[in-house]
Amino acid sequence: MYWATGLATYVIIWWLIMFMVLPWGVRRIEPEDLREGDDPGAPENPRMLMKVAVTTGISGVVFGLVYLVVISGVISFRV
């Protein structure tokens, strides 16, 4: 696998997993805590740094598995 192919594959895996991790632990703002201009559907505490860290870790494992499958010759990106 060329480095550019590996990078593109990792980025795609990272974004897919990020969209899977985003809803974890989301709680809406309670109606009595709403201030002027707040959206009632907005998350109370999104904890994005934690979600980015979890996404990066899971993506590394998934990419490692994909890399092993490609290196073994089961799937080939070469034309």
pLDDT digits (tens, 9 = 90+) for 25-57: 888 777 777 788 778 777 888 899 999 999 999
Whether residue 29 is contained in a domain is answered as no
Q: Is residue 31 part of a domain?
A: no
As for how many domains the chain has, the answer is 1
Does the reported pTM lie above 0.95? no
**Token pair listed for 35:** 């201030």
Is 35 among the domain residues?
no
Does a structural domain hold residue 56?
yes
Rounded CA separation 16/22 (Å): 10
**Helix, strand and coil in the chain, % to nearest 5:** 60, 5, 40
| Mean predicted confidence (pLDDT) in 8-32 | 91
Whether the predicted pLDDT of 76 surpasses 80: no
Parent domain of 64: 1-24+47-79
Residue 38, in any domain of the structure: no
